[in-house]
Structure 1
Amino acid sequence: MGLFGRSNNSGPVIKEQAAALHWDTDDPFLFASHHLDNYPKGNERQAPPYEEVKRKDQGNDYHKLFGYRMYTGRVTPGFQLHAHWGYETVTLVSKGYVDHFDSLGNQGRYGYGDMQWITAGSRYHHCEMYPLVFQDRPNPQLVTQIMINLPLKDKNTPVEITTVWKEDIATVDGDGWKATLLAGSLDGVTAKVPHCTSWAADPAHHVRIMKLDMEPGAVFTLAPSEAGTRNLYITETGAKVAGKEYPAGTRLKLKPDAEVLIEMLSEPSEVWILEGDPIGEKQCQWGPVVLANNAEVRKANNEVREKELENWNWEYVNQKQPLGTGRFYKAADGTESRPKEPETGE
C-alpha cells in the first residue's frame, strides 16, 4: 500500500505503517499482536471441524483459511506450551476465551473483556489456548497482546501473574466512545498496574495502554502527553486521524506533545494507544528471551529447550479447561478468584 512511510507534513503524524496481525512498537514496548478470528461452532473437544483443521499448516497456522488461524494449536486454536523470559505480556480478550496453564501450577479461563498481566522477569512456560466453547453458534475471537520490556535491573526477578476481571478494569465513557485503560490515566481515571516490577507501575515513566471503542462518527481528542513515545493503531475499520483517512490495519507513530483528533468513519472499531518513556538500555533478544547480551540470551534459550517440560505438571502441552467451564483463576497455592459479573457469552 503506497501510503505507508515517513510522513511529509508538519502535523502530529511522524510515520505511517501497516499493522494487521503483528504491530511494530517503540521502546518501552517490544511487540504487539492483534488476533481477530471468526471461529466456527465448536465440537465436544472445543475445536473446529477436523475436516477444516487437517487442511491447515499444523502447528504453525497464521493464514486465515476458513476465516481463522490455528496458530500453534493442532486441535484447539491458540498457543501451545512456550516460554517467556525478561519481559511482560498484557493480554486483553475482547471476544472469546483464553485457557491458561503454566509451569508454576496456575490455571484459569478468562475472556470477554478480562485482562491477564504477566511479568516474566525469569524463565516462565505456559500455554494459551482459544477454546471454542459454543456448540450452537460461531465463536468469534479477538485478543490483543502487548509486550513491555523490563530494565536490566528487573531481569531474572520472580514471575508475577494477575488476572483482572472486566468489572475491575478502569474505563472512561464519552460521546460515542469508551476508553479501556490497562495502564495510565485519562480524565482523572487511573488504571492500577498489578505488579510493582513493571515499567508501567511508575507514573514517572508515562506509560499508557488504552483501547478506544468508537461508534460511527464519534470523535476523540487525544491530548498532548509527556511520554517519550506515542503510537496509535487502527484495527478493524478505517478512521480519520489528524484530518487524514487511514484504512484498517494501520500504525501511526505520533508526536507525543501534539494534540490529535481521531474520528471514526461509517463503522465501529477499536483504536489502540501505546505511550511511554523509553527504557533506553542496550539489550539482546532472540526467540522468547530478552536479556542483557548475546551470551546471556544464548544460555537462556538453551535452558528453555532443556527444561521446557521440567515443571510442566499438566497432561498436555495444549491443555484446556473442560467443556462448560466458566471464567476463573486458580493459583498454585489453591486460592481462587472468579468475576462478580455472570457469564454473558456475548
Structure 2
Amino acid sequence: MPKPGELTFVAPRGAKKPPRHLADLSPAERKEAVAAIGEKPFRAKQLSQHYFARYAHDPAQWTDIPAAAREKLAGELLPELMSVVRHISCDDDTTRKTLWRLHDGKLVESVLMRYPDRVTMCISSQAGCGMNCPFCATGQAGLDRNLSTAEIVHQIVDGMRALRDGEVPGGTPSGGGPARLSNIVFMGMGEPLANYKRVVGAIRRLTDPEPDGLGLSQRGITVSTVGLVPAMHRFADEGFKCRLAVSLHAPDDELRDTLVPVNTRWKVREVLDAAWEYAEKSGRRISIEYALIRDINDQAWRGDLLGRLLKGKRVHVNLIPLNPTPGSKWTASRPEDERAFVAAIAAHGVPVTVRDTRGQEIDGACGQLAATER
C-alpha cells in the first residue's frame, strides 16, 4: 500500500507486466523460485553468479549447470527484458547513449560516460515521466509506466559488461581497455521516488555483495527527485548511504510552481527540510540540481536567494546548462548570466559548480532519443 501523501501510478487496464526476473527477487526468493520449478535451490546461487558476476546471459555459457536445466531456468528466471534499439556515441566514443525497447514496446534510455578518473552511468527508472516539467523532453512525453526492479538493474549489468568487454574506449591517456563502473545516477527518464519500491529494490540488487548482487558501493549511487516529500522522508529511513539530489530549478515558489508542477503540492522549504533530514540520517551531502534556463530562472537575484536558502547546510549546487530540445522555447543561459548566478551563490559560502555538458550532439537530454523513435 502507498504511504499517505505519496504519488502512485496505476498501470492502464490490460497493460502487460514485465516478466519475472532473477533481479526482481531477493536471494531467498530466488531459491524458492528455483525449487518451485523442480530444481535444486543451490542453482539460484549459480544463476546469480552468472548474471551479477559474469554478466553471462546465454545459457550455453552456464557450463556448471546441466544442459537439460539451463533453458528451463533461463525461461523462468532470466527472460529477455529489453533489447537495444541502437547505441549512439560522441566525445570520441567515451559517451554512449543506449535506446532500449522493453518487452511491451516502451522505450527508455541510459547513458554511459567514461572519464579519465571515473565511469558514470545515468539510468532510467520509468518509461516516460509524470512530473510534467515543461522544459524536460521526458516530461513532455508523459508517463507510460514504472520500470520493474530488474529492468532498472539490467541497464547497469549491460553497462558493466560493455566496460569489461572494452566497448566504451577512453578513460586513460592510452585510450581504451576494461574499466569499472564507479558512479550510478538515477537521473534518466522518470522520477525515481515515484517508483519507490522498485528503485529501492534496485539499489539493494546493485549493492548486495556478489553474487547476490553487483557489489557496488552505495556511496557511488545518486538518486534524484523533484521533491516528493513523503517519499523523501521514507527514503531517509532506509539506512542508505546514497547521495540524494534534489532537482530544484527555482528557489521561489512562484516560479517553481510553473517549472516543477509538483511544487504546488510540496513547497520549496518543505522539500529542502526533507533533504536536510536525509543529510542528517545518511551523513551525505545533498546535491541541488538546477537547470539554468535563459531569462527564466537565471537572474542573479535568484542565485542570491538560493544561496541564502542553502547557507550553512551540507549541500552542493550543481548548475546544469540546459540541453535544449528541438522546437522548445527553453534554452541555455548566456555565459555572462551563468557567471553572475554562480557568483551570487558562492558569495554565501555555498559550494557550486557547473556541470560538464556531454552528449549534446547525440540528443543528450533525457527523452530526446526516445522521442525521435516514437
- TM normalised by structure 2 equals 0.26
Structure holding more helix per residue:
2
Determine which structure has more spread, i.e. the larger CA radius of gyration.
2
Structure holding more strand per residue:
1
- TM normalised by structure 1 equals 0.28
